[in-house]
Structure 1
Amino acid sequence: MQTATTRRLPRAERREQILAAATTAFARRGFAATGLDDIATEAGVTRVILYRHFESKSDLYRGVLDRACTRLATAVGEEPGTYTDAAIDALISYAGDDPDGFRLLFRHAAREPEFRAQMETFRNAMTEAARLQITELVGETSWAAWASQLAPVVAVEAILAWLDAGRPDPGDAPDHVRRAIAGVIDAASVSPS
């Protein structure tokens, strides 16, 4: 008798199953400490099945990152280079729906030397989107640049802390994150006496 995990799935479904399992496994222990056997076990498949879909562990990790980036972009739904307050709600919603994907993108991937450049590109896009908004709010350009670099970091770290704290008050979480970002913008806007 075949179980749900061992029965033959259409290629796209099996690939999604593997990507979801790999996201969980990589988020738990990081790229270097996670073996293909760990991922195969998590997915309920054999290594042979993994290799039918991915050439290597690096190829699989890239697939996981691409999947997480695509899901995040879909959740946020913003045009490139734009940002609205709704983006915070969408980030928190995405993080709540896919905490492993969020942690993988923002906690683990940037620490992996092989994937650092990909994540740096992602980070630069976030900073540029923040810069376009913050420059209008902060008059002095060097402080606007500072706030543009810091605001995305504060948002991401606030959401990671929210996940780590057990996701308290999901309906109120966006307002808390917005207040943290507002603190950065206020700090950039006020000249010290």
Structure 2
Amino acid sequence: MAAERADSDGVEPVKRMRRAERREQILDAATRAFARAGFAGTGLDDVAAEAGITRVMLYRHFESKAGMYRAVLDRACARLAGNVGSGNFDENSVPALVRAAAADPDAFRLLFRHAAREPEFRDLIDTLTAASTEIAQRNLAALLPAGPWLGWAARVIPAFTIEAVIGWLDAGQPDPEAAADRISQAIHGVIEAARPAGD
């Protein structure tokens, strides 16, 4: 049975959890809080309030706000890779990406909207972008001739796909069954646009 205890500063009783469970609870709360306002716009008090714990308890698990934010981003990347894969793109990739975004929209937005705009954490997005472009280039090489339009498509398709999924989340996740098909149709449009004239 979970015990409850009152913190020394008179805050509401806090449910006692195992360390790993508490850390996950904090990461969940931090994901929600950071997704609302980004790194700079979110204080540790915001995260503590979201988690229903004291700021002191945050410091038992994370040394700094930056360390917590990095842990949130790392977890989001790991979950995304676990759901979508990281070695290749195929017909299952877009549906898997849509499902992953729908399962944790805050983490998806945080990773691809906020972290992409925050210089201190931009390295993570730059690494994801480079890997996605390289994988797209490798996959598209079977469909498009070598040259600048292949490189263009390899850059555009991953960027478009992420923005399309974020746009779908922001629109309220309409027609989830057809969302991946619609995004895939648009990707095929990019591929067709990259084909040499007359092909």
Q: TM range, normalised to the smaller chain?
A: over 0.9
1:163 to 158, 163, 169: 169
- Partner of 1:53 in structure 2? 61
Structure 1 residue 150 corresponds to structure 2 residue 156: yes
Measured against aligned partners, the alpha-carbon deviations of 1:47-89 in whole angstroms (never above 9, x if no partner) come to 111111111000000000000001101111x352x11110111
Which residue is 2:116 aligned to? 110
Q: TM-score, normalised by structure 1?
A: 0.94
Residue 119 (str. 1) matches residue 101 (str. 2)? no
Q: Which residue of 1 aligns with 2:77?
A: 69
One-letter identity of the residue aligned with 1:56? S
Q: 1-side partners of 2:86 and 2:119: how far apart?
A: 29
List structure 1 segments (4+ residues) > 2 angstroms apart after TM superposition.
1-5
* Relative contact order higher in (CA < 8 Å, ≥ 6 apart): 1
Equivalents in 1 of 2:94, 2:141: separation in Å? 19
Q: Does 1:84 align with 2:102?
A: no
Alignment of 1:3-42 (within 5 A): 6-42=14-50
Deviations 1:146-192 (A, max 9, x none): 10000001111111111011101111011001011111111111438
Size of the alignment, in residue pairs? 190
In structure 1, the partner of 2:145 is 139
What CA distance in whole angstroms lies between the structure 1 residues aligned with 2:17 and 2:147?
Answer: 54
Specify which structure has the higher proportion of helix.
Answer: 1
Cα separation, 2, equivalents of 1:28 and 1:85: 32
SS of residue in 2 equivalent to 1:172: helix
Question: Structure 1: which 5+ residue stretches go unaligned?
Answer: none
Instruction: State the percentage of identical aligned residues.
Output: 54
Give the alignment's TM-score, normalised by structure 2.
0.91
Secondary structure of the equivalent of 1:144?
helix
Q: CA deviation at 1:92?
A: 0.3
Aligned match for 1:177, one of 183, 196, 199? 183
Q: Which has the larger radius of gyration?
A: 2
